[in-house]
A and B are shown apart, each in its own frame.
Chain A
Amino acid sequence: MAGLELLSDQGYRLDGRKASELRKVQARTSVFAQADGSAYLEQGNTKALAVVYGPHETRGSRSKSLHDRAVINCQYSMATFSTAERKRRPHGDRKSSEMSLHLKQTFEAAVLTELYPRSQIDIYVKILQADGGNYSACVNAATLALVDAGIPMRDYVCACTAGFVEDTPLADLCHAEESGGGMSLALALLPRNGNIALLQMDARLHQDHLDALIEAAMTACKGLSKVLDGVVRQHLEEVSVLTRD
């Protein structure tokens, strides 16, 4: 059996997208009433649920709290049914802890934490179905949840992955592309001023290609920000219609 061809000669990817096309993104905010903010986001077949509590007083030991800004606490987990084979350990493993840390870094850069000294914001994200780009789905969902919770942020944080095949950058990789060799770069962007909240890549790539790759990922993030913005505005409209009555 000949191996997978990530980008065909005609420029199609495995799932029929062109190199710079994103997967279909669908999202909804305020899915749970109990939490302060919540959102559900589908990025292709990757489905993520984000819930935000806070800002509230620091729970547990007082020593963790900071006098000048809020602490952001992130927890990432994957549902046992999220992958093709049932997952044994939904959270707490090495990968999840790393992902939690990355999320924390991302949102510390975006949330205006200095407005809430000595308090804490909890972000819980769960992947319901994993099909590549888990990190970016989590960031996007959490952004919506934060907006829903009314926590002030500098900008939307939009994240997207990008890969590199045969001298062409591919935007928003699916699982088959991520696992089918090649590399993947994750980028979280504050689209309005173009600041990068997080950039992560653990593969070898020639220096010459890096700029093109980041450029592709940024374009993808900007595209995503429009979608997220649309979701928020639509939600606002719905809500305002409801409250008017």
Chain B
Amino acid sequence: MIKTEKVLHLNSSKGRKVRVVREHYVREQVSCGSSLCQADCRNDGKVLSGDVTHCVVPDVGVVRDFLEILEFRELQGIVLTQTAYQTVQHTRGRRQYNRLRALLKDPRHDCVLFANEFQQYCYCPRDKGESQDKWHTRNVYNAAVWYYNHLAGLQPVVMITEDSDAISEFSALNSGVYVISTKEYLLSFWPDLQAAHDLYNSIAQTLQERESEGVEKVYTEHLPAEVLEAGIKSGRYIQGILSVNKHQAQLEAFVRYEGSASKNTELNSDVLINGAKHHNRAVHGDVVVIELLPRNEWKGRTMALTEGQGEEQPLEDTQSQPMPSGRVVGILQRNWRDYVVTFPPLEEVQSQSRNSQKILVIPWDYRIPKIRISTQQAEALQDRRVIVRLDSWESTSVYPTGHCVRVLGKAGELETEIQTILVENCIHVPTFSEAQLREMPVNTEENPWQMDTSEVSSRRDLRDTHLVFSIDPKGCEDVDDTLSVRTLPGGKRLELGVHIADVTYFVREGSLTDLEARSRATTCYLADRRYDMLPAVLSADLCSLLGGVDRYAMSVLWELDAETLDVCTVWYGRTLIRSSYQLHYELAQSLLNGEEIEVPELSRLKGSQRDQKLAELLQGLETLTRVARHLRAQRDKGGALELEGVEVRAQLDEEKNITALVPKQPLEVHETVAECMIYANHWVARKIQESFPHQALLRHHPPPKQEFFNHLIGCAKARGFSIDTRSNRALADSLERAVDPQDPLVNKLMRMMATQAMSNALYFSTGACPEEQYYHYGLALDRYTHFTSPIRRYADVLVHRLLMAAIQLEEEGSLSKPFASNKELEELAQHINNKNRAAQHAQKQSTELFQCLYFRDKDTHTDERCVADAVIYAVRTNGFLAFVPQYGLKGAVYLKNREGQVVSVDGDGRCEWKAGIFTFSVRISVEPSRCHADSLCLELISNKPHCAVQPESLPAGRGRSELVQEVVRWAEEASIQAEEERGRKSKLSREEKQFRQSRTPSLYVLLQEISELALLDLSVCAPFESGLILLTEVLS
């Protein structure tokens, strides 16, 4: 090692310039990270593949400004220099730095970091008077030359830079390294990668624009970070996350406190930030620092319902009590993501600005301000939805500037809208790459997959001893749970078994599939399709516990006392099973009801043999039901909640036509399966928590805040019920009592409101949470986790690994490799929570999309289907919020339109004000919106119920499932027509394949979600958005 020195000029803590001398050690051996390395560098970790045609060394400026281009996975062989890496760290925010780090860590991405500044022959000290940029570029060039020589010229090295001086200077030196500009590089090496070219142009233009900015100030400048920090410490400023009101995006935003920094008791609520001036360029989700305004400037929040979302409207005296108000003085952390925007039609573009290069586009999300974009493709892009990234928001500009990233498609088309929903929720689901699929075992006709003999011998074989069966919805492909129950010899004990697909056997930790599954975290179900977490060969075949084939499983076996059903012993471990029956819920229920029904697996058998088998199965099912009832009763004693659930479910045949509608009540067998799964989850949670007290992944459900129940209590009081919310037990009991025999909807609505008062159940690492917070409020269990669906949830995969580690720890006393630390696990838990929330939002938004598409072409005045009953559940100053049980819709109904006219009630003319719930009829129509998602509009037409209250006779074909099917059919037809117009044969296969994906997940999933209250995040959704929609959607 050789010691040199480096002189830096830094700002001291007091803000003065200080000259600092730092040591700098350089060495000869620095790992190069290339598989072609000739000098046997010690390359551990990621290595560049050797089969690329060249490697590319981007300059500092390229990494700083064009990082997004380097993120294309198609670009391979990228060598990032430490010089560039550190520049990003010092000059750009933490977000971009983290993105760069993630890029380097991602094994799917072919790039490495080369620590050039620590390499003896690469590092050159800064010359006197040399500018920093020049010095950096020189260093990067030196690194490129060294790299070329290090690989002994086996691979051409290209350095890309944005500095034209550097190109001319270094190209002249004949060192074997090509120095070209980024544009030239893309053109000559990646001519086909159109997306990268577009992105490059878009970023370059934005950079150019930024240089030629005006100077007129629109907003006050943000304060420097030191001042903010000092202000927060002294209590003068407050730190929090800005959340913009969806319905008043320009006007209202709130800041919620982080932590308990403020001791000021009167500030226990959120702080209102009123008006764009006070927002001061903060965007929804940013971490901001605010200053409170003097008390005489405080405003109240708007209570009125507004129709024109996002548009500024004169506010009259609709404001409530003044609340603490403030203004943003600085932003600590931007939280920008990719936004979907819509380009305006051409006419508007020209009127917007004189030079048509800058265009204001409108984001899909109401909470985001309009974005200014420089592009020359305005004509081509009109009415398209486009992904945009924000670059900056100068104080001289009214709107933030951004650049285009990718075009999604024409607004209003089904595909575009679905893509929009995915992007807006940050769900990234590319098709599985070849490298990932190569890891998968093969199972084809010619080459069937076979079990490993060593695996067979190391696992407990349950194939001959246990009667294993699965109960799922009809047509389910990914069977991840099976059950078994038997009486042990002697008759004193029962053995209950839950066998879960052994995904971790196939998905090894750290493999590409594992990383992909981790980043997806969950299978995402939309209204008409699903995006799998694991490749289909696993999820629908090798992991899936199908009937009649040998499969690997993870099992939990309980020995229960046959009389009292108390647990005597528990066994966890890896097993081999062969599921004998793949039942579906209806079949199982019919069997239990003693009906004569054909079991497909037994149709080949005859006579007494068949009767015997059937009796065996039946006995198993009955025992299972008995056990499940007992378990449920035990949990009820603890205070488990039962919340509002399902309505109608449609069954489909091959052509996606509805063949039958399943009755509304869930069958008992649903609950039986769900109960066994909850039990398995509970026991696994206990096991891993005991073995790993500081690093087990559990799931808890914090008790809800009491003030959220106020609305429910008020509503219940109006109907004469009292709701006790002191504990989950009391709540469950009082909900049980709140039944109006005349109107079954009342209880349903009550339960729905109770659901909305709850917070989400969340994953966490046991080391990050005190033990008393492990409690699961909804299920009334002290430990809970997710174990039973590893095919569609990553959390379960983690829990499987933890369980295996726990078993190993018990048997061998040590672990073969250390498990993730508490910190890592907690980060992972947060990630999974976020992804789950995003998936749920996407699901809900896709449902709304289908609702809108369904009603779009209906004539609102003539079509019967557009008139429905609704129930009021909350009243605002100019309207009320209503629930339409028939479609599971919720929405606002206005009693006053924009012209100020008020709805008058004639006929008997009496309009009584009474609180609570009453029924009336509404007309549903679609309010078209070009830039945002369409929304449904409810219109009051009569204060009498449209059809007399007889919920049983509601036309059953009006369920949500039908709605989705119909819309899908339209889309299909439209695409077929389009195909035909092009003079080709209609090709259904693609659509069919795509849409057949929408297999129903098991109903157990649904019940579990209901009981776990994994509902919407209350803080994000508009008040009282439907939780029900979400739940029913899981079914369809």
A84 surroundings in chain B (CB, below 8 A): 12, 18-20
B23 lies within 8 A of A9 (CB): no
Known: A12-B115, A12-B118, A21-B1. A44 touches B93 (CB 8 A): no
B115 surroundings in chain A (CB, below 8 A): 8, 10, 12, 16
A94 surroundings in chain B (CB, below 8 A): none
B238 contacts the other chain (CB 8 A): no
A131 contacts the other chain (CB 8 A): yes
Q: Give CA–CA (A115, B117) in the complex, Å.
A: 53
**Least Cβ–Cβ distance between B412 and chain A, in angstroms:** 41
B22 lies within 8 A of A9 (CB): no
B27 lies within 8 A of A45 (CB): no
Query: Which listed residue, A16, A21, A85, touches B24 by the CB 8 Å rule?
Result: A16
B12 surroundings in chain A (CB, below 8 A): 84-85
A17 lies within 8 A of B25 (CB): yes
Mask of A1-31 contacts with B, CB within 8 angstroms, 1/0: 1110100111010111100010110000000
A16 lies within 8 A of B90 (CB): no
Stretch at the interface among B97-105, B259-267, B658-666: B97-105
A174 contacts the other chain (CB 8 A): yes
Q: What total of chain A residues lie within 8 Å of the partner, measured CB to CB?
A: 23
A45 lies within 8 A of B31 (CB): no
Known: A16-B118, A84-B18. A131 touches B23 (CB 8 A): yes
Known: A9-B113, A84-B12. A15 touches B25 (CB 8 A): yes
A167 surroundings in chain B (CB, below 8 A): 821
**Across the A-B interface, how many residue pairs have beta carbons closer than 8 Å?**
69
B88 surroundings in chain A (CB, below 8 A): 2
**Least Cβ–Cβ distance between B229 and chain A, in angstroms:** 13
A176 contacts the other chain (CB 8 A): yes
- Secondary structure at chain A's binding surface: helix, strand, loop or mixed? loop
B27 lies within 8 A of A2 (CB): no
A16 lies within 8 A of B117 (CB): yes
A2 lies within 8 A of B93 (CB): yes
Q: Give CA–CA (A8, B22) in the complex, Å.
A: 17
Q: Which residue of A lies closest to B91 (CB)?
A: A1
A16 lies within 8 A of B22 (CB): no
**Least Cβ–Cβ distance between A133 and chain B, in angstroms:** 12
Q: Give CA–CA (A167, B104) in the complex, Å.
A: 21
B20 surroundings in chain A (CB, below 8 A): 84
Q: Give CA–CA (A14, B446) in the complex, Å.
A: 57
B92 surroundings in chain A (CB, below 8 A): 1-2
A44 surroundings in chain B (CB, below 8 A): 3, 23
B24 surroundings in chain A (CB, below 8 A): 15-16
B971 contacts the other chain (CB 8 A): no
A1 lies within 8 A of B90 (CB): yes
Q: Which of A68-105 contact B (CB under 8 A)?
A: 84-85
Mask of B803-823 contacts with A, CB within 8 angstroms, 1/0: 000000000000000000100
**Least Cβ–Cβ distance between A209 and chain B, in angstroms:** 12
- Secondary structure at chain B's binding surface: helix, strand, loop or mixed? mixed
Q: Which of B98-123 contact A (CB under 8 A)?
A: 98, 101, 104-105, 113, 115, 117-118
B91 surroundings in chain A (CB, below 8 A): 1
**Least Cβ–Cβ distance between B140 and chain A, in angstroms:** 17
**Least Cβ–Cβ distance between B80 and chain A, in angstroms:** 11
**Least Cβ–Cβ distance between B625 and chain A, in angstroms:** 49
B623 contacts the other chain (CB 8 A): no
A9 lies within 8 A of B94 (CB): no
Mask of B1-21 contacts with A, CB within 8 angstroms, 1/0: 101010000001000101111
Q: Give CA–CA (A14, B104) in the complex, Å.
A: 19
**Least Cβ–Cβ distance between A26 and chain B, in angstroms:** 9
A21 surroundings in chain B (CB, below 8 A): 1, 25
Q: Which residue of B lies closest to A15 (CB)?
A: B23
A16 lies within 8 A of B101 (CB): no
Q: Give CA–CA (A172, B397) in the complex, Å.
A: 50
Q: Give CA–CA (A176, B10) in the complex, Å.
A: 12
Q: Give CA–CA (A93, B366) in the complex, Å.
A: 60
A12 surroundings in chain B (CB, below 8 A): 115, 118
Q: Which residue of B lies closest to A10 (CB)?
A: B115
Q: Which residue of B lies closest to A23 (CB)?
A: B23
**Least Cβ–Cβ distance between B48 and chain A, in angstroms:** 14
A10 lies within 8 A of B113 (CB): yes
Known: A15-B25, A84-B18, A176-B22. A2 touches B89 (CB 8 A): yes
B118 surroundings in chain A (CB, below 8 A): 12, 16
B18 surroundings in chain A (CB, below 8 A): 84-85
Query: Which listed residue, A1, A3, A14, touches B22 by the CB 8 Å rule?
Result: A14
- Most B CB contacts (10 A, CB to CB) among A9, A16, A44, A85 go to A16
B5 lies within 8 A of A45 (CB): yes
A45 lies within 8 A of B25 (CB): no
Q: Which residue of B lies closest to A44 (CB)?
A: B23
B207 contacts the other chain (CB 8 A): no
Q: Which residue of A lies closest to B26 (CB)?
A: A16
Q: Which residue of A lies closest to B225 (CB)?
A: A1
B90 lies within 8 A of A45 (CB): no
B27 surroundings in chain A (CB, below 8 A): 16
B23 lies within 8 A of A174 (CB): yes
Q: Give CA–CA (A131, B24) in the complex, Å.
A: 13
Q: Which residue of B lies closest to A3 (CB)?
A: B94
**Least Cβ–Cβ distance between B121 and chain A, in angstroms:** 14
Mask of B39-62 contacts with A, CB within 8 angstroms, 1/0: 000000100000000000000000
Q: Give CA–CA (A174, B26) in the complex, Å.
A: 16
- Most B CB contacts (10 A, CB to CB) among A1, A5, A44 go to A1
A24 surroundings in chain B (CB, below 8 A): 1, 3, 23, 25
Q: Give CA–CA (A233, B821) in the complex, Å.
A: 48
Q: Give CA–CA (A15, B82) in the complex, Å.
A: 12
**Least Cβ–Cβ distance between A43 and chain B, in angstroms:** 10
Query: Which listed residue, A5, A10, A14, touches B31 by the CB 8 Å rule?
Result: A10
B19 surroundings in chain A (CB, below 8 A): 84
B117 surroundings in chain A (CB, below 8 A): 16
Known: A15-B24, A15-B25, A84-B20. A5 touches B105 (CB 8 A): no
- Most A CB contacts (10 A, CB to CB) among B93, B115, B118 go to B118
Q: Chain A interface (Cβ within 8 Å of chain B)?
A: 1-3, 5, 8-10, 12, 14-17, 21, 23-24, 44-45, 84-85, 131, 167, 174, 176
Given A16-B1, A23-B3, A167-B821, 11 more contacts at CB 8 Å? A2-B90, A2-B92, A2-B93, A2-B94, A2-B98, A9-B101, A10-B31, A10-B45, A84-B18, A84-B20, A131-B23
Q: Chain B interface (Cβ within 8 Å of chain A)?
A: 1, 3, 5, 12, 16, 18-27, 31, 45, 88-94, 97-98, 101, 104-105, 113, 115, 117-118, 821
Could you give 17 example pairs across A and B, Cβ below 8 Å? Answer: A2-B90, A3-B94, A8-B115, A9-B113, A10-B31, A10-B115, A15-B22, A15-B24, A16-B1, A16-B26, A23-B3, A24-B23, A44-B3, A45-B23, A84-B19, A85-B16, A131-B23
- A-B residue pairs, 7 tightest by C-beta: A16-B25, A16-B118, A2-B97, A2-B94, A24-B3, A84-B18, A15-B23
